[in-house]
């Protein structure tokens, strides 16, 4: 089949797909029903979801304050941040739809309320430094959760914020991260206080619509809510934008549980940007070593031709830069094809996204030789560097690959070996399960066992087995008997570590981002009080708080995600897991994929970022 036809076939096959793309910066939709958020119903505008309180052009900021066009209404009831059935905590959220009020000149309609303490203001406000009441809610930040203690003092609470995408396709992957923050806030408030008997109140913000939403949320949290610390954002692009444009200049501490781009390490951040997940330096070396193993296999199975598809954002291009030179050295120069594909957040519609990704795959097939005589004339290996949008690229590849199936004596290409970076690993089971049900993939259903066996992934190690087991029991009790994703360990640890650092600040002193950053170095003192986030009780929380509250106190934390040891750049150092999909269904006609770690990448002696793969 001629190559110029491949593009049309790829787009045609994808055009009928209804893909659920998670962990992207925007949520595609076809109707308002696709836009369910944790804080209410959104709207579908130009084939992308806009969260409640947002608009197609996002909220606007003036003088560092986010415009909120409709006064929010205070309510008391169950928290809106997770699938919980109980009523612990007091949550204030916006019941109204700001999009129904087009009057954005709030200054002309309302008068500033003068105050000296928070209780002079309504429950969805605080008393700001200029003695006027400031709203805790905004278009992006739709809920504030107070301690569930009836005697808590709103005049002394310390507000912290979080920024995560929360709705639609993000819910399955990101909601557990937000739930874990909620659990950490509740665990801390239920067991202890900061110095001065201060408790923690939490303002949760939604960045589903992209980087601009994350920046607007951070601006509101810093300027209106007055937080010293933010948990998040989730994505590297958002972390870079928030740190550069908002938090560093304002002295706000941020700790991201999931952003891995190496460019975050290089930020001039005044020591205010930290994370509980390892940067991509380690993952890059693990991928290089795994591909080196593939090249060393017997000639009939080894890697002969490599296609690398990398997302055009800080995460994708950063990780690509970490592996490109070494992978190109493994193969002849004409046997490696590298393509970057557009960030899903840049498209106006899902149709545009699918057409662009189809063109990317068509270009990859166009780089193959004109005749196919040997195995190396086809891609034997494909490396995806991205997040769950790689599902669309994978299906587009299958579409083009099917056109190469020819009758003997011409050779048909074998199915390549697919490797996915950590951003896609949580989605691998779904990618297999949706082959067949997804329009345009029906013909691939008989090949699901082969496809299932040809997929692997690489990700940082993000859980301590014993501690995660104890954490998951509490998580299941709190959130409707749902199991926590292992990534939830990262946000739980990020929140608790921040609270322990805040505990080092005397009760008569306002907590600053710089104070938190300074105290973070005392959370990993080998000579400090050993604290493990485990056990049948939560006594470790009081133990850690008390140790940090002593002048010169320190702890040595073993979190749910593992040992919490940061370097001078605020980065975690950890090994990797190599993942495969095993088929847990005994029936040969049924494929039931199960994500299974089968190898571990053991790091060399610190500070080395290299290591060795060992089978489990």
Residues 49 and 173 in one domain: yes
Tokens of 473: 């029991």
Return the percentage of the chain with pLDDT > 70, whole number: 81
Domain count, the chain: 3
Residues 292 and 417 in one domain: yes
Query: Looking at per-residue confidence, does 31 or 346 come out higher?
Result: 346
Cα 605 to Cα 611: distance, rounded to the nearest angstrom = 9
Residues 321 and 418 in one domain: yes
15 assigned to some structural domain: yes
Mean pLDDT of 286-294: 98
Q: What's the pLDDT score for residue 388?
A: 84
Peptide bond just before 190 cis, omega within 30 deg? no
384 assigned to some structural domain: yes
State the chain's mean pLDDT as an integer: 84
249 assigned to some structural domain: no
Cα 139 to Cα 98: distance, rounded to the nearest angstrom = 8
Residues 113 and 65 in one domain: yes
Torsion on CA atoms 518, 521, 527, 533, rounded to nearest 10: 110
Residues 36 and 15 in one domain: no
**Residue 135 C-beta-side C-alpha neighbours within 13 Å:** 25
Torsion on CA atoms 46, 52, 55, 61, rounded to nearest 10: -150
Cα 492 to Cα 463: distance, rounded to the nearest angstrom = 11
List, in order, residues 6 or more apart from 500 with CB less than 8 Å away.
519, 523, 544, 545, 548, 555, 557
Cα 5 to Cα 286: distance, rounded to the nearest angstrom = 37
Residues 472 and 393 in one domain: no
pLDDT in tens, 229-284: 999 999 999 999 999 999 999 999 999 999 999 999 999 999 999 999 999 999 99
Q: Which of 151-155, 412-416, 552-556, 567-571 has the highest mean pLDDT?
A: 552-556
Tokens of 128: 């700001």
Tokens of 94: 């916006």
Residues 96 and 193 in one domain: yes
Residues 293 and 198 in one domain: no
256 assigned to some structural domain: no
Range of the domain at 208: 32-234
- DSSP output for 441-472: -GGGGGGHHHHHHTEEEEEE----HHHHHHHH
**Band of pLDDT at residue 463, cut at 50, 70 and 90:** confident
Handedness of CA 9, 11, 16, 20 (dihedral sign): positive
Residues 99 and 203 in one domain: yes
- For the ranges 88-97, 301-310, 389-398, the lowest mean pLDDT is seen at 88-97
**Residue 23 C-beta-side C-alpha neighbours within 13 Å:** 25
pLDDT above 70: residue 22: no
Peptide bond just before 492 cis, omega within 30 deg? no
262 assigned to some structural domain: no
- For the ranges 69-83, 176-190, 298-312, 402-416, the lowest mean pLDDT is seen at 69-83
Phi/psi for 287 (5° steps) reads -65, -45
Cα 442 to Cα 265: distance, rounded to the nearest angstrom = 44
**Band of pLDDT at residue 14, cut at 50, 70 and 90:** very low
Residues 583 and 542 in one domain: no
List, in order, residues 6 or more apart from 545 with CB less than 8 Å away.
188, 192, 193, 194, 499, 500, 503
538 assigned to some structural domain: yes
Tokens of 330: 């493994």
Residues 98 and 125 in one domain: yes
Residues 476 and 448 in one domain: no
Mean pLDDT of 479-495: 93
Please tell me the pTM assigned to this model: 0.79
Instruction: Give CA separation, 214 vs 46, 168, 349, 350, in Å.
Output: 20, 17, 21, 22
Quick check: helix, strand or coil at residue 231? Answer: strand
Q: What's 197's DSSP letter?
A: T
276 assigned to some structural domain: no
21 and 388 Cβ atoms separated by less than 8 Å: yes
122 and 71 Cβ atoms separated by less than 8 Å: no
Cα 595 to Cα 580: distance, rounded to the nearest angstrom = 6
The CATH code of the domain that includes 286 is 3.40.50.2300
511 assigned to some structural domain: yes
Q: Which of 63-67, 371-375, 377-381 has the highest mean pLDDT?
A: 377-381
**Band of pLDDT at residue 50, cut at 50, 70 and 90:** low
**Band of pLDDT at residue 374, cut at 50, 70 and 90:** confident
pLDDT above 80: residue 432: yes
Tokens of 263: 């460019």
């Amino acid at each position: 089949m001629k190559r110029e036809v491949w593009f049309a076939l790829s787009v045609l096959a994808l055009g009928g797909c209804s893909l659920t793309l998670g962990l992207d910066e925007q949520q595609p939709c076809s109707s308002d029903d696709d836009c369910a958020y944790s804080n209410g119903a959104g709207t579908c505008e130009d084939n992308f979801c806009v969260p409640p309180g947002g608009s197609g052009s996002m909220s606007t900021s003036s003088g560092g304050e986010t415009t909120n066009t409709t006064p929010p209404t205070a309510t008391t009831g169950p928290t809106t941040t997770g699938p919980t059935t109980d009523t612990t905590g007091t949550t204030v959220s916006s019941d109204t739809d700001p999009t129904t009020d087009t009057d954005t000149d709030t200054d002309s309609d309302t008068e500033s309320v003068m105050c000296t303490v928070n209780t002079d203001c309504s429950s969805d406000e605080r008393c700001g430094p200029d003695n006027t009441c400031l709203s805790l809610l905004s278009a992006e930040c739709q809920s504030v959760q107070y301690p569930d203690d009836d005697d808590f003092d709103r005049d002394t609470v310390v507000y912290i914020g979080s920024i995560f995408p929360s709705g639609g396709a993000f819910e399955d992957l990101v909601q557990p991260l937000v739930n874990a923050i909620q659990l950490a806030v509740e665990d801390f408030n239920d067991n202890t206080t900061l110095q001065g008997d201060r408790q923690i109140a939490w303002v949760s913000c939604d960045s589903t619509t992209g980087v601009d939403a994350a920046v607007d949320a951070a601006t509101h949290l810093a300027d209106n809510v007055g937080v010293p610390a933010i948990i998040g954002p989730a994505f590297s692009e958002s972390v870079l934008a928030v740190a550069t444009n908002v938090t560093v200049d304002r002295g706000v501490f941020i700790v991201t549980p999931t952003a891995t781009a190496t460019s975050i390490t290089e930020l001039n951040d005044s020591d205010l940007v930290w994370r509980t997940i390892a940067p991509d330096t380690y993952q890059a070396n693990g991928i290089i070593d795994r591909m080196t193993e593939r090249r060393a296999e017997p000639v009939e199975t080894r890697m002969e031709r490599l296609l690398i598809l990398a997302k055009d954002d800080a995460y994708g291009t950063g990780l690509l830069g970490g592996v490109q030179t070494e992978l190109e050295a493994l193969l002849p120069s004409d046997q490696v094809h590298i393509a970057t594909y557009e960030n899903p957040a840049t498209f106006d519609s899902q149709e545009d996204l699918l057409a662009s990704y189809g063109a990317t795959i068509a270009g990859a097939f166009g780089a193959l030789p004109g005749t196919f005589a040997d195995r190396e004339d086809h891609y034997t290996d494909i490396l995806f560097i991205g997040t769950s949008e790689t599902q669309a690229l994978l299906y587009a590849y299958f579409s083009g690959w099917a056109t190469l199936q020819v009758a003997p004596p011409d050779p048909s290409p074998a199915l390549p070996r697919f490797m996915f970076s950590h951003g896609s690993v949580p989605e691998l089971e779904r990618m297999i399960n949706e082959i067949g049900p997804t329009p345009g993939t029906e013909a691939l259903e008989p090949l699901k066992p082969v496809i299932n066996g040809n997929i692997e992934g690489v990700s940082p190690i993000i859980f301590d087995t014993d501690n995660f087991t104890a954490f998951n029991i509490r998580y299941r009790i709190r959130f409707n008997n749902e199991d926590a994703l292992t990534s939830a360990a990262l946000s739980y640890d990020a929140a608790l570590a921040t609270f322990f650092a805040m505990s080092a600040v005397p009760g008569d002193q306002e907590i600053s981002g710089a104070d938190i950053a300074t105290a973070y170095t005392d959370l990993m003192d080998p000579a400090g009080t050993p604290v493990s986030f485990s056990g049948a009780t939560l006594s470790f929380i009081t133990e850690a708080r008390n140790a940090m509250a002593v002048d010169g106190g320190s702890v040595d934390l073993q979190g749910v995600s593992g040992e919490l040891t940061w370097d001078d750049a605020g980065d975690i150092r950890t090994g990797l897991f190599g993942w495969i999909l095993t088929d847990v269904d005994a029936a040969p006609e049924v494929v039931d994929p199960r994500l299974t770690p089968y190898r571990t990448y053991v790091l060399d002696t610190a500070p080395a970022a290299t290591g060795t793969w060992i089978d489990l």
